[in-house]
Structure formats: structure tokens, C-alpha cells
Amino acid sequence: MRRVMVGLLVLAAVLLGLPGPTRARERMAADPGAVRWFRDARFGMFLHWGVYSLHGRGEWVMNNEGIPISEYEKLPGRFNPTGFQAREWVSMAKQAGMRYITITSKHHDGFAMYDSRLTKYDIVDATPFRRDVLKELADECRRQGLKLFFYYSQLDWHHPDFFPRGGTGRRAGRPDQGEWARYKQFYFGQVRELCTRYGKIGGLWFDGWWDRPNADWGHDELYAMIHRLQPQALVGNNHHHAPFPGEDFQMFEQDLPGENSAGFNRAGVSDLPLETCRTMNNSWGYNAGDTRHRPAPDLIRYLIQAAGRDANLLLNTGPLPDGRIQPEHRERYLAMGSWLQERGEAIYGTRGGPFRPSRWGVSTRRDRTIFLHILNWPAGGRLRLTGLRAGIREALPLRSVTPIPVTQTEDDVELALPDSLRDPVDAIVRLELEQSAEALPWIAGTR
Ligand code: JFZ
């Protein structure tokens, strides 16, 4: 009897919109523990994989070449990545020193890389492969201790109800009609599938809002649903604007936070956890013609530059249609892993600063230690820093016990760097302070 009474009371409370147990006050943020994990993780693998990989001309081929749906729908029948092994991909990410993987569950072409019960346009129902690669990756990530995030495109060039059309997907050959509410229900349903059928997930990485910025996407409801179903999941949205309510991290595409070489990173830097996503060449999806792969030292320095700006690096590869990883990208990932094997303590679990990015490099910090990442050797090996309001106990090369001569006055610190410290990638000095470095305010950099 009491149980029925309580049930009725809760029901009344919800129906009357009265504040009730937590459920009524929608969760609009991820667990603080998960947020801390994300900040500590610093390095993840981005995977752009789909039937577009068959063309080998990137993930926008359908739109860029005006391929109509009738034509594009022939691709799934040819998609059979028998070379795909979740264990192999996850092991590579782990060897690369990565803590999480973000994979395209559905990109703008609308093709689901998982077994969606809301469409037949997916890898299980429409390909000879018939395997749910997200399921296999989710299980393998759990086995190897990495987290799995799902990239999900809100933009859909295939769905008939993605109407009115936005800036893209206009040459797909869809009739000029459709029911937006039906599309919204569809994409909510797919997000719910991703939040209910793959165990605990790391989070959602949304994209495509920019195609219809004024549409009713229902973000409040969507984010609340995710936070309810997956309290530890972080939500991010690649809309290139300041974070919307309910988002847990802010991403920057092809730019370090605060920079805008790409042209669309106009948003300021929020105090949410930050993530920069980057291509290894200039393509997200597999592009056979794009062989301008950035050298491993440049990629390692980019990871350091991101950490020095308190951001993660989500480094992308576009797997081949047969399920293999491009050898040039595997090689670079593993080179980054060897570097992190030896110097990861200056990256993982750190926060950016306190010295802002400068001509000489960047800094990271944890507890009483500041790591100076000297990316450009200062003239005469003499590094001068101003504005540090903390006493330095000693300065040491990261991997040696031989102290570095340091003089500190009220406002200035001068380090006499030994030549033996020179390093073409990153010469790291650890400053051991008399107090915690984490509470120190950011200190203006020396340009
Ligand atoms: C988006 C996707 O279009 C792309 O395929 C990839 O997934 C990347 C990570 O994110 O890239 C964009 C999105 C929007 C703009 C530019 C690139 N824009 O609005 O200029």
C-alpha cells in the first residue's frame, strides 16, 4: 500500500512539475569524476570510418560530388571490412598512449556504423559484413581499459525528414518535403540506442548543427536524456560557438584553443574541459590522394601545445575500407606512444600553465611541479621567466637528477639550461616548488 502511495505522489509531483527527487531536476552535467578523468586523459584517437571510405575521397564525397542517394546507397553492398579487428585497433590506441577513442557512429551521409533498430541503412542490415563494429569496439575498450566516445552527426543527408534542408545535402535527390519532428524523433532515438546498448560510454561528440543553426534540435532534452542514461558520459557539440547549456567539454577543430587558423573557430575559450581535434594529413575520412601526413615530431609537439593550453588532443585517422589502419598513421601513433612512454608524466594528469604559451614553449603543472616544455631553445640557453609568485626548491631535467642552475628574484626566474638538455621535440624542465602549482594564476607569456 505504501509503495503505491509513494508512486502516486511521485507521479503527481512530476505531472504537476513540482520539484521532486533528482530525476525531476534534470541532470545537466556529467559526473565530476568523469570530467576529471577527461582532463587527465589528454590524448585520444578520432576515427572517421564509413561507407564513404570505399571511395577514398574523404567523408564529404556524397555532398562534394553531388552523389544522389540512389547511387550512394550502392556503397553499403560493397562494404565488407574483413580486416577489421577491434582488438588490434584498441591495442594500437593503447600503444600510442591514448586513453580514449571517439568513432563516427553516423556521419553526415546518414549511414549508421552500428546495428540501429530505427533504420535498415546500417552496417548490420545493409552490408555483407553484418557485424556491429561499435559493439566490438565497446567490448574491447572495456577489456583494455580505454573509454569509447561516439561521434554522432545531427546533420543527415539521407533521411527524408531532414527537412527543411540546410546548407548541405541538397543534391541527394530527396523530394522537397519532409517532417522535421519525425527526423528529430529519429535522431533522438538513435542517440538513445547509443546510450543504452553499448554499456557505459565515455560520451557523445555531436556535429552538424551548423548546417541548420536555427532548427529546433531539442538540445536541452537531448543532453538531459544522455546525462540521465549515462551519468558519466561527457557531451560535446562541434557547433563552433560558445558551449550550450548541458555540454561538458568544448572542442576546437584543427585549431588550438584560442586560435582560428581554420576560420570557423570563432568561439572564445570557456572554462569547460577543452579538446582539439586534428587530422594526421588534411582529411578526416580515408582519402587515398591525401599523402601529406604530418611528421611524428610535429604531432608530438601539437599534443604538448594542446596540453600547455589545458586541452586534450583527439588525433584522427580514417581507416581503410577493408578495416586496416593506414600504415603511415599507425607508425606515427606508435612513435607518439614511445615518446609518451618516457615523458608522459609531463602530460597525463597535468593542467595547462601557469606560464601562458610563449616563444620558448608551454608549461604544464601537477601538484608542486611545473613542467617547462622548451619547444624553441632560448638564446644562449638562458630562459628568463617573469611573474612566478612561488618559491622554486629546485629545477631539474625531466629525466635526470642533475640540478639546473636557477636564480630567482622577487619577480624573475632565470635558468641556465645545459646543452645536454637540448631536444629537437621537447626539452623538459621540472620546477619543484615550495607550494602547490595548481592554484597559481595564469602568468602572461613572453612573446
Ligand atoms: C566537421 C565535419 O563536417 C567533418 O566531416 C569532420 O567530421 C569534422 C571533425 O567536423 O567539419 C566541419 C564542420 C563545419 C565547418 C567546417 C568543418 N564549418 O562550419 O565551417
Look at residue 76 in the predicted model and tell me its pLDDT: 98
Look at residue 1 in the predicted model and tell me its pLDDT: 59
**pLDDT (tens digit per residue) in 329-376:** 999 999 999 999 999 999 999 999 999 999 999 999 999 999 999 999
Look at residue 208 in the predicted model and tell me its pLDDT: 98
Question: Residue 95 CB: number of other CB atoms within 10 A?
Answer: 16
Q: Distance from the CA of 7 to the center of ligand 1, in angstroms? A: 46
CA 123 to CA 272: how far, in whole Å?
34
CA 302 to CA 294: how far, in whole Å?
10
Look at residue 336 in the predicted model and tell me its pLDDT: 98
Look at residue 205 in the predicted model and tell me its pLDDT: 98
**pLDDT (tens digit per residue) in 240-273:** 999 999 999 999 999 999 999 989 888 999 999 9
Q: Distance from the CA of 328 to the center of ligand 1, in angstroms? A: 23
Q: Identify which of 83, 103, 81 has the alpha carbon closest to the alpha carbon of residue 93.
A: 103
Look at residue 411 in the predicted model and tell me its pLDDT: 85
Q: Distance from the CA of 206 to the center of ligand 1, in angstroms? A: 11
Q: Distance from the CA of 319 to the center of ligand 1, in angstroms? A: 18
Whether 13 has a pLDDT exceeding 70, the answer reads no
Best of 52, 108, 253, 286 for a ligand 1 pocket test (most atoms within 8 Å of beta carbon): 253
CA 120 to CA 424: how far, in whole Å?
52
Whether 310 has a pLDDT exceeding 80, the answer reads yes
**pLDDT (tens digit per residue) in 406-443:** 999 988 999 999 999 999 999 999 999 999 999 999 98
Whether 234 has a pLDDT exceeding 60, the answer reads yes
Residues having CB within 6 Å of any atom of ligand 1: 59-60, 207, 210, 238, 240, 253, 264, 277, 284
Taking CB atoms within 8 Å and a gap of at least 24, the contacts of 63-70 are: 63/108, 63/157, 63/168, 63/169, 63/171, 66/171, 67/171, 67/172, 68/171, 68/172, 68/173, 69/157, 69/158, 69/172, 69/173, 69/174, 70/173
Whether 134 has a pLDDT exceeding 60, the answer reads yes
Residue nearest (by alpha carbon) to ligand 1 atom 14: 210
Whether 171 has a pLDDT exceeding 60, the answer reads yes
Look at residue 444 in the predicted model and tell me its pLDDT: 80
Output the CA–CA distances (angstroms, integers) from residue 435 to 5, 134, 339, in the order listed: 56, 45, 29
Look at residue 18 in the predicted model and tell me its pLDDT: 47
Widest CA span of the chain, in angstroms?
Answer: 83
When pLDDT is averaged across residues 47-74 and rounded to a whole number, the result is 98
Percent over 90 (pLDDT), the chain: 90
Given pLDDT bands bounded at 50, 70 and 90, which one contains residue 405?
very high
Residue nearest (by alpha carbon) to ligand 1 atom 1: 207
Q: Are 261 and 255 in contact (CB under 8 A)?
A: yes
**Residue 205 dihedral angles phi and psi, to the nearest 5°:** -120, 90
Whether 10 has a pLDDT exceeding 80, the answer reads no
CA 374 to CA 370: how far, in whole Å?
12
When pLDDT is averaged across residues 76-100 and rounded to a whole number, the result is 98
Look at residue 410 in the predicted model and tell me its pLDDT: 85
Residue nearest (by alpha carbon) to ligand 1 atom 7: 284
Residue nearest (by alpha carbon) to ligand 1 atom 4: 284
Q: What is the mean pLDDT of the chain?
A: 94
Omega of the bond leading into 164 within 30 degrees of 0 (cis): yes
Residue nearest (by alpha carbon) to ligand 1 atom 20: 264
Query: Partners of 391 in the beta sheet?
Result: none
Look at residue 183 in the predicted model and tell me its pLDDT: 98
Global pTM reads 0.94
Higher pLDDT, 144 or 3: 144
Output the CA–CA distances (angstroms, integers) from residue 19 to 13, 221, 222, in the order listed: 7, 17, 20
Residue nearest (by alpha carbon) to ligand 1 atom 15: 264
Of all atoms in ligand 1, which is nearest to the CA of residue 263?
A: 20
Best of 276, 284, 314 for a ligand 1 pocket test (most atoms within 8 Å of beta carbon): 284
Q: Are 133 and 84 in contact (CB under 8 A)?
A: yes
**pLDDT (tens digit per residue) in 153-167:** 999 999 999 999 999
